[in-house]
Amino acid sequence: AIVDGTEVCFYVDSYDDMIIGTVMPVSEYFEQRYTQTISVSISIFIIFLLLLIFIGMLINRKIVKGIHNIVAGLQRVEKGNFNLKIEEFGNKEFKILSTGINSMVDGISKNIKDNEKLMRQQKNIFDKNLQLIENIKNVSLEINTASKKTVDMANSIYSGSTNQEDSLAALN
């Protein structure tokens, strides 16, 4: 409606058998609406920003921190520490991952201990084989010496037999 040449908005309502109304120029009405819209938009933006910061902190605490803990544990394993346990219980997936890594590290540790035991056993067997070879060498040398003595004795007996035959022939 237009009142006194100014476009206006009006609102009418009934109250206790009376009709009450108000009139406001359109420019003033929309200025207040514009101010309200800006205020609501800024408020929504601030709430959204705070929510985004909260979600970022939550993701950092629940996910990024868990990943960093697991990576730090894996780096210690890489450096040879097989006695550690990665304990990450931030969420179900990290718990499963840390349990799997711990099982793998336990398996590696057990394999290393088993290999060390086998290496000690192989060293003992090697040492025994060296001793056996040394014993065989000594026995071979003793057999060689005994064989030489036997050959020398056989030659001496043969020579003695020939001398005896020559002596007998000279007597006859």
Output the CA–CA distances (angstroms, integers) from residue 18 to 12, 14, 171, in the order listed: 10, 5, 182
pTM, 2 dp: 0.51
For the stretch 14-18, contacts whose Cβ atoms lie closer than 8 Å and that sit 24 or more positions apart, written own/partner, are none
Output the CA–CA distances (angstroms, integers) from residue 66 to 74, 145, 163, in the order listed: 12, 77, 103
Sheet holding 6-15, edge to edge: 2-3, 6-15, 18-25
Per-residue pLDDT of the chain (172 residues; tens, 9 = 90+): 788 888 888 889 998 889 998 888 888 877 878 888 999 999 999 999 999 999 998 888 778 888 888 888 889 888 988 888 888 767 788 888 888 989 999 999 999 999 999 999 999 999 999 999 999 999 999 999 999 999 888 887 777 777 777 777 777 6
The pair of three-digit structure tokens given for residue 21, joined into one six-digit string? 């109304």
